[in-house]
Structure 1
């Protein structure tokens, strides 16, 4: 939020100077996940002012020179220290193929003798022939158009990097390892980019992770020095962001603070003066404590300390500002910390005994830590843990996951892990079985399962990497066993069952997910007021539909003869006839064109829809059906919600995206066996209508689109495509090991699908992928971590995301989650802040709930034409 406002301020100042040059921003953070997440948000407020891209596709300095310049008011580069500033403080890497191809190309133009001396195989490294040739063909035109000024800059950067050795590059190649030589070449290319494309603003996010870039020694590095030198003697502005900018304890904690202050001020005397004042302040505090029996003297000391404290604060605020998360005294449950007790059972101890028997004596100390954290550790740890690999080859005793029981959808009366039992009380299987969480601002009262126990998202942090995978798999299986067993006796068959996949044409199903241009345009439940009763909303929708059909040569119910008022055709025929009457035929045909080309059943249903004759008359029962469609048909709700945030959603060019969202996205998502396990088979359509109403689906969707529109790359036009990806997510599986009587691992483990709960980061692990996916099982790869995070930041599945704390600094999980579970205790206060900081953030669910509670009446006051919340 702070960085975004500063970027906007720079743009405003540049416009006041009538400068056409964009503000060049280098946003540097520790990992690409955070860079991808935040780069769009930094310029979100500026997207409405320009049609140009604002975030460069170049993800590292060495690729900037080959990337076309942006023409908007901002040119933002999202970079990481490891890939853009290689050097002594960062591990040497070979770089990407595109980098090495570009290096070869620019050397051939700027330094042909050097290019001839360097073997091509040194630059190719492990790239295959096809990969290398494609990259060469792709980059050759870019190299050919490089201006001479840029080539001159690259020559200078190469001389700075290699010195006089550049004249005898052959000797350098002989005496330098290929990895180190590539690092030097990449440094030269990055240096040239900095000289040719200096920043106006440098943002260092979570800089404590790469502190060398703000130290005196680190700034002596040529690349880092060039970053801060700027152009023509004018250095860029530098903004440092961190929730934990220096250690809270340790011998060097105070020194790191003063080194940081010296960097920010650019003046070592400033930090030395502050250090002296801190020392004096500390001595005053000690003197106050020692003067406890001398009230007057203590008061004098306190007054001096107060004056000195204010002086320190005034000096520090010239370079630092601190924002606090105001949560401790917040009057809402989202900011409370309930403590859960997890009593041990006899089964828990038997699991521990079984693990101890498996481990060698020297690994017995590790067994306790694994048992405390990992559910069913003997079957979940696997080959990535050395203690498990060198275990005793003896039979596993105690409670265990049994393949036969899983196949029959059986579960123990209580899982043999105290934390897992506590988790399932906090996030019950019944609530996790619901397809979305309740909206912040409900347009009407929740009903059904949402009224009984609306689901809440939960972010779980643990210590070991096996823990999230075991938590996610066992929690998802508990949901399956709880919901599916009434209708299925087989786990695999239950997971593969479908209800919403039309093997043959089903026009009621088609109508449900059809984004009707008519109903989405003429109806709006918000016109009845919010919050409001469903009866009042239905009356309002009825009036809107009647008004829209008035003057269209349609015989409406009150004008029909008594004998014809009870005519009752299927609602799909009525709606299709209305759209034919209003000349939406070509629009509907185009909207379903892409799906109809891939799906013969969908094509047949679309053609049947378009073949209906125009509407001439409407009966009262048919009008009632239209009202229900307007209120709770998923396709209509998606179209109406998207249209509020993207008015062109129903245009001929955009309707195919919306149709893909409803038919290929939402329909597939709702065809989850857990969701419909308890529906009556012949009441599928009514059950979907009820689902939409009970959970206030349109309100949820409206809130999601509003939150997402400011952060998604491409803005509102990409909302439909973005959500469709979430609906099509494949979260993967986890396989528990089966240990035979002789202690050996069986070839086939127990594979459990993850859906309501998923492990974050586990599906990126190569070993994990080998465990859970076999070539014969599925061609669909499990979701990557970025995709899982995006899905978790929607109101839809997954509802539980389990992760380790490692690598999550700076990532956002707050959009639809306000709860963090500390499965394993934090080792430091810094890690505690980092964990809870994932959900207590600007615009998060907890914040929105407070605003909704306080401002609902004002936002939807009677004289307001549109909501203002």
Structure 2
């Protein structure tokens, strides 16, 4: 493929979607990298959640424009420590460059380690534009180890392609590492040999021939062959031990290092993006082979290095933090890397002048020094903050209390129990564990005290006595009988009150931010209408497990009470879904279910709430009775186009599923088989029989109006509910909003993607917890009718419209064609709905009748609340972190997410959450902001709710193809003069509206309460002392004056 065929990217087109402050940053960086007095390294330090990836994409687009006519090949390298984020962002960073007559003239190559890029080198050389990504930890720090099986398979074939004598099973034993031989052999046989990098293989073998071997070996290659000989005449189950194993791994490790170096030398990077680079700063400064390899890449030719990080250095440190002076040293080190030692020294001197000016009260001296610092830093970095977009710089954050936070007498008894056990086991005090978690010994994993309990506790008389006297415990017997579980801890009691006592477990999804009509049932409850998901941060690993276990169990127990099914044991076989495709008494009993998930274009148009509001010229939300009556009239008008059927005889329930299919055949002029040809997703529901489902589809495809009996009396009512709340209809309408309008209701590909969503919704409604929630104690009606009624009551169509709008932008498909958008959104919705309950292992501390302690285990399901991160979580199908994030970022369960690690940069949880619970406080104000930045991002939940409150009733919203797009355009049009586009997309304060809710469940007079007060004193002022040593001392010296010195803050926003 000729490089000359590639079409030049349109940089201006690539920048169209940027907000004004993002575009200003791109233009500023472009000037710094390519203008007069250019720099090679530049840092984007924008506050968390402001779109640094989009800025990087803009910089890449403009850089490609500069390079296009100057170089033969352009390599864009993206380095990110999180492989999940790297895969996601590589697609977002990729700039156009379509090839005439082909799909693309650019390649995307992702490898979780640099060594595997060797396999792609020949491909890169044949392309004009390459986008390459890998993770730094396993790429540059190639140790003397065996690496992954994929690396060893590649090595095996690279050597064998150049060394025909490399034959025999002993070579498989040599390269297999810790992999079972049959599995390694399978991977070797399945390897695509056409991808072997010929030149790199030759260079590798040549280097092995010239590099000296150890001991008596003339070369490294001789040593490899001699070592491999020792793997001969062994059976396949043999494993090398001791010196032989170490020699083998050292040789494989050395070859992996050669592969990594070959990949670095083969890359010709023009633009290198280091995302969240503070996670691998050792590669920038240390003196070791990994750092040398990294710097060889960074310093290649005239490559431009773009660094992204909201916290490029420790922004603030306290005297009692382990790092001590880490902020100052880290700051100077970073500036030295960006600007060089001479300019870093100039910044240090000016910061010292600034400090002297602050301490002496010489504001002019301080301002002059500040200006020098700003000018020097702006040469190599910029930072935009959203706090500046609200008059009081609160960024929409409000402190709220968790009601119900109180110490109970039993809590004190629990502490005494834990202290007795710890003393008996000769372990440390349990105060911190007790303050943070209930049922500590039952739930903790990996802690020393738990290991001691498991190894020696059963024989300890003191331990058994303490358990015998313990006030409460979490036992299998209690759980299996669905007995009420006391929260067991002041913080857990407060969170339970905040979430479950208000009834959040009665919600199948988060209430819509812009309801089209008045919702009913739980969704009309004032306590629940404004409910948002809770994101909880803790310092202890046991806490996420405790929260997810206790809240999920109690939510499930309360739903069981609601449905009257607590007599069924907790560990009994899970109830099978009621929305099934079965055959009963010779009849296909799932035909109404098929109608529920069928994306009927006719019903989608007839039941469009916005169409009703437009026709009535009435603001949203309409009264429910008005909406239902108007749509019912429209349904009755549509039914007139179908044969009326006989007036006598028994009612024929087939009308429920036949009418939607027949209406589509008429309105779209389709053959019966064409109307029902859908994939319905890749996953079949639990217990489904695919052939039985196909029977249902075939029956629908063969239907004719003449075969139907008398219409049921409630046909119009059921179809009205289907038009407003049917899974397929609501999904189709949501996709059409973002695809471009009503014309896409009839697009077969869009309808097919709607079927994927509806199938996922059907599987979700088949979960036992959802069946208990939706059906309650009533069994008077068919479950499919209950689901339709619930979906209408709960405003499902508004919920999916909002969700589709959010995903359209968060997935980066808003500028794509309708089918691409629909497929991406359907895939994401399906994944979010597909998360199954995980389980947490619990230790039963019960004593048997003989008084002996047997530490048996049982499991608790997690669904309403889940943990995020790599804790000790078992699952029949382990939920990956990515799917947990997808589900939490959807309107569906889980409603509570807890973690010790969510503060990791790059992850967002803002789409349906604007409430942060700081279970344990961070020691640092920057860490506090980082946590809250997880939910304070582009078009976050609080922002959408406020925009809907102010503009949802406007006629422009009713008239729009996408009501959400119209609402934000109205908010943008009302943006105050001089205000950046942080408003209204990141910050949109509204009197009486929604805000980012900060909860700190600290007991009065506790150490945590004191720490919180100290923390909040520094939140607003730490920016004044960025770059200063002994920051806490300086702030303490300035005292209350610090807040009056805001005009002396270092401002690094881009300037023209």
TM > 0.5: yes
TM-score where L is the length of structure 2: 0.70
Aligned equivalent of 2:944, options 835, 848, 856: 848
Q: Please say if 1:78 is aligned against 2:159.
A: no
Deviation at 1:258, TM superposition (A): 1.7
Q: Please say if 1:260 is aligned against 2:334.
A: yes
Q: Please say if 1:308 is aligned against 2:369.
A: yes
TM-score where L is the length of structure 1: 0.84
CA separation in 2, counterparts of 1:561 and 1:101?
71
Q: Please say if 1:183 is aligned against 2:248.
A: no
1:590 is aligned to 677
CA separation in 1, counterparts of 2:194 and 2:674?
41
Cα deviation 1:497-517 (Å, max 9, x = unaligned): 643335441433332222224
Once the two structures are overlaid, the 10-residue window that deviates more, 444-453 or 114-123, is 114-123
1:388 is aligned to 453
1:519 is aligned to 603
Q: Please say if 1:245 is aligned against 2:245.
A: no
Aligned equivalent of 1:11, options 37, 55, 61: 61
Q: Please say if 1:783 is aligned against 2:900.
A: no
Aligned equivalent of 1:418, options 490, 494, 499: 490
Q: Residue 365 of structure 1 aligns to a residue in which SS? A: coil
1:459 is aligned to 535
Given that residues 153 and 196 in structure 1 are in contact (C-alpha distance below 8 angstroms), is that contact kept between their aligned partners in structure 2? Answer: no
Aligned equivalent of 2:731, options 614, 638, 642: 638
Aligned equivalent of 1:235, options 303, 316, 330: 303
Given that residues 30 and 81 in structure 1 are in contact (C-alpha distance below 8 angstroms), is that contact kept between their aligned partners in structure 2? Answer: yes
CA separation in 2, counterparts of 1:55 and 1:444?
45
Q: Residue 573 of structure 1 aligns to a residue in which SS? A: helix
2:481 is aligned to 408
Once the two structures are overlaid, the 10-residue window that deviates more, 494-503 or 367-376, is 494-503
Given that residues 676 and 697 in structure 2 are in contact (C-alpha distance below 8 angstroms), is that contact kept between their aligned partners in structure 1? Answer: yes
Deviation at 1:739, TM superposition (A): 2.1
Aligned equivalent of 2:575, options 490, 496, 499: 496
Cα deviation 1:652-694 (Å, max 9, x = unaligned): 5675554343235434435423422515212334432332223
Given that residues 468 and 802 in structure 1 are in contact (C-alpha distance below 8 angstroms), is that contact kept between their aligned partners in structure 2? Answer: yes
CA separation in 1, counterparts of 2:151 and 2:205?
17
CA separation in 2, counterparts of 1:48 and 1:710?
25
Given that residues 517 and 620 in structure 2 are in contact (C-alpha distance below 8 angstroms), is that contact kept between their aligned partners in structure 1? Answer: yes
| Unaligned stretches of 5+ residues in structure 1 | 289-300, 774-779
CA separation in 1, counterparts of 2:93 and 2:713?
53
Quickly say closer, same or farther: Cα 1:677–1:383, change in 2 above 3 A: farther
Deviation at 1:12, TM superposition (A): 4.4
Q: Please say if 1:611 is aligned against 2:709.
A: no
1:484 is aligned to 560
1:99 is aligned to 151
Deviation at 1:857, TM superposition (A): 5.3
CA separation in 2, counterparts of 1:360 and 1:46?
68
Deviation at 1:650, TM superposition (A): 6.4
Cα deviation 1:721-747 (Å, max 9, x = unaligned): 332233232231123211243786646
Deviation at 1:569, TM superposition (A): 7.7
Aligned equivalent of 1:829, options 925, 940, 943: 925
CA separation in 1, counterparts of 2:937 and 2:343?
33
Q: Please say if 1:432 is aligned against 2:505.
A: yes
Deviation at 1:313, TM superposition (A): 0.6
1:354 is aligned to 417
CA separation in 2, counterparts of 1:477 and 1:563?
51
Quickly say closer, same or farther: Cα 1:650–1:201, change in 2 above 3 A: farther
Cα deviation 1:785-818 (Å, max 9, x = unaligned): 2221221111111111121137734322222222
Q: Residue 275 of structure 1 aligns to a residue in which SS? A: helix
Cα deviation 1:539-596 (Å, max 9, x = unaligned): 664676688789xx6579xxx99999x9998432322333454424222443269879
Given that residues 639 and 658 in structure 1 are in contact (C-alpha distance below 8 angstroms), is that contact kept between their aligned partners in structure 2? Answer: yes
Deviation at 1:359, TM superposition (A): 2.3
Aligned counterparts, 1:678-757, within 5 A: 678=776, 680-683=778-781, 684-712=783-811, 716-741=822-847, 746=854, 748-757=856-865
Q: Residue 591 of structure 1 aligns to a residue in which SS? A: coil
Deviation at 1:605, TM superposition (A): 3.2
Over the residues paired in the alignment, what is the CA RMSD in angstroms?
4.2
| Unaligned stretches of 5+ residues in structure 2 | 1-50, 228-242, 318-323, 813-819, 969-1056
CA separation in 2, counterparts of 1:189 and 1:447?
63
Cα deviation 1:371-409 (Å, max 9, x = unaligned): 222211121125654343355333312211233332222
1:121 is aligned to 173
CA separation in 1, counterparts of 2:923 and 2:456?
28
CA separation in 2, counterparts of 1:435 and 1:456?
13
Quickly say closer, same or farther: Cα 1:674–1:333, change in 2 above 3 A: farther
2:118 is aligned to 65
Quickly say closer, same or farther: Cα 1:630–1:92, change in 2 above 3 A: farther
1:777 is aligned to none
CA separation in 1, counterparts of 2:333 and 2:278?
12
Deviation at 1:424, TM superposition (A): 0.9
Once the two structures are overlaid, the 10-residue window that deviates more, 794-803 or 704-713, is 704-713
CA separation in 2, counterparts of 1:243 and 1:463?
20
CA separation in 1, counterparts of 2:674 and 2:311?
51
Count of aligned residue pairs for this structure pair: 830
Given that residues 739 and 745 in structure 1 are in contact (C-alpha distance below 8 angstroms), is that contact kept between their aligned partners in structure 2? Answer: yes
Cα deviation 1:66-87 (Å, max 9, x = unaligned): 2384899964333222111115
Quickly say closer, same or farther: Cα 1:73–1:848, change in 2 above 3 A: farther
Q: Please say if 1:273 is aligned against 2:364.
A: no
| Highest RCO, 1 vs 2 (Cα 8 Å, sep ≥ 6) | 2
CA separation in 1, counterparts of 2:99 and 2:893?
31
Quickly say closer, same or farther: Cα 1:238–1:718, change in 2 above 3 A: closer
Q: Residue 200 of structure 1 aligns to a residue in which SS? A: strand
Quickly say closer, same or farther: Cα 1:806–1:708, change in 2 above 3 A: closer
Given that residues 846 and 853 in structure 2 are in contact (C-alpha distance below 8 angstroms), is that contact kept between their aligned partners in structure 1? Answer: yes
Q: Please say if 1:225 is aligned against 2:295.
A: yes
Given that residues 158 and 188 in structure 1 are in contact (C-alpha distance below 8 angstroms), is that contact kept between their aligned partners in structure 2? Answer: no
Aligned equivalent of 2:869, options 754, 757, 761: 761
Given that residues 525 and 540 in structure 1 are in contact (C-alpha distance below 8 angstroms), is that contact kept between their aligned partners in structure 2? Answer: no
Once the two structures are overlaid, the 10-residue window that deviates more, 680-689 or 516-525, is 516-525
1:295 is aligned to none
CA separation in 2, counterparts of 1:689 and 1:332?
42
CA separation in 2, counterparts of 1:459 and 1:159?
57
Deviation at 1:425, TM superposition (A): 1.7
Given that residues 791 and 798 in structure 1 are in contact (C-alpha distance below 8 angstroms), is that contact kept between their aligned partners in structure 2? Answer: yes
Deviation at 1:158, TM superposition (A): 6.8
Once the two structures are overlaid, the 10-residue window that deviates more, 441-450 or 623-632, is 623-632
CA separation in 2, counterparts of 1:330 and 1:799?
31
